[in-house]
């Protein structure tokens, strides 16, 4: 499946994305807050992409023909909820790509698949990610103490959520140039 916005294309991961994404996957400022370790060789990026391609709702974010990052969600169909997960290469931070990718992803997720909640967990120190979520209308529900075991340590995380009726008013506009 592919989802399109004015600047972004969300599409399944391909091995050919490795050269674009490897430099970002080596960046500790990105991997520090993710569930995977900083990549030490491009072979790790190939393996990561193979794994990503097998997931039902995870996408590479393509911008001007280049892979810029990854977004998507793990879906709990029984409860109709999606847990979103995103990382983007630093050259694209602050560019609006994150918001645009979320708009096309959430418009779809709250549409035909009928999800009733999208949630996101962020490390308590990840202020940038928290701000990015709040700009999209996510509400901070609370602190989950030692909720995830990542990189050999327990993580305290904030739980954020977004409901479809809130998305109608919080959804940022995206422009078609």
Positions touching ligand COA (CB under 6 A) are 30, 33-34, 86-88, 93-94, 98-99, 120, 122, 126-129, 131-132, 135
Q: Looking at beta carbons only, is 30 or 109 nearer to ligand COA?
A: 30
In the complex, what is the shortest distance from the CB of residue 99 to ligand COA, in angstroms, rounded to a whole number? 5
Q: Which residues contact 10 (CB under 8 A, 6 or more apart)?
A: 2, 3, 4, 59, 60, 61, 62, 71, 72, 101, 104, 105
Q: Looking at beta carbons only, is 71 or 115 nearer to ligand COA?
A: 71
Alpha carbon distance, N-terminus to C-terminus of the chain: 24
Q: Looking at beta carbons only, is 75 or 101 nearer to ligand COA?
A: 101
Give helix 97-109 / helix 127-135 axis angle, nearest 10°: 50
On the 0-12 / 13-18 / 19+ scale of CB atoms within 10 A, 23 is middle
In the complex, what is the shortest distance from the CB of residue 135 to ligand COA, in angstroms, rounded to a whole number? 6
The CA-based diameter of the chain, rounded to the nearest angstrom, is: 45
Q: Looking at beta carbons only, is 61 or 115 nearer to ligand COA?
A: 61
In the complex, what is the shortest distance from the CB of residue 71 to ligand COA, in angstroms, rounded to a whole number? 8
Alpha-carbon distance of 133 to 122, in angstroms, equals 9
In the complex, what is the shortest distance from the CB of residue 72 to ligand COA, in angstroms, rounded to a whole number? 12
Q: Looking at beta carbons only, is 76 or 125 nearer to ligand COA?
A: 125
Q: Which residues contact 173 (CB under 8 A, 6 or more apart)?
A: none
Alpha-carbon distance of 36 to 43, in angstroms, equals 14
In the complex, what is the shortest distance from the CB of residue 47 to ligand COA, in angstroms, rounded to a whole number? 19
């Amino acid at each position: 499946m592919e989802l399109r916005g004015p600047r972004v294309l969300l599409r399944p991961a391909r091995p050919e994305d490795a050269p674009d994404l490897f430099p970002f996957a080596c960046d500790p400022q990105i991997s520090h807050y993710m569930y995977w370790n900083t990549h030490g060789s491009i072979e790790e990026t190939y393996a990561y992409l193979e794994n990503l391609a097998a997931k039902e709702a995870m996408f590479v974010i393509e911008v001007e023909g280049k892979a810029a990052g990854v977004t998507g969600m793990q879906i709990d169909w029984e409860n109709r909820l999606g847990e979103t997960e995103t990382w983007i290469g630093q050259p694209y931070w602050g560019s609006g790509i994150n918001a645009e990718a979320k708009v096309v992803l959430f418009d779809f997720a709250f549409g035909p698949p009928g999800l009733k909640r999208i949630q996101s967990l962020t490390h308590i120190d990840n202020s940038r990610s928290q701000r990015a979520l709040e700009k999209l209308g996510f509400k901070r529900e609370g602190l989950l103490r030692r909720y995830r075991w990542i990189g050999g340590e327990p993580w305290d995380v904030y739980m954020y959520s977004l409901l479809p009726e809130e998305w109608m008013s919080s959804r940022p506009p995206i422009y078609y140039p």
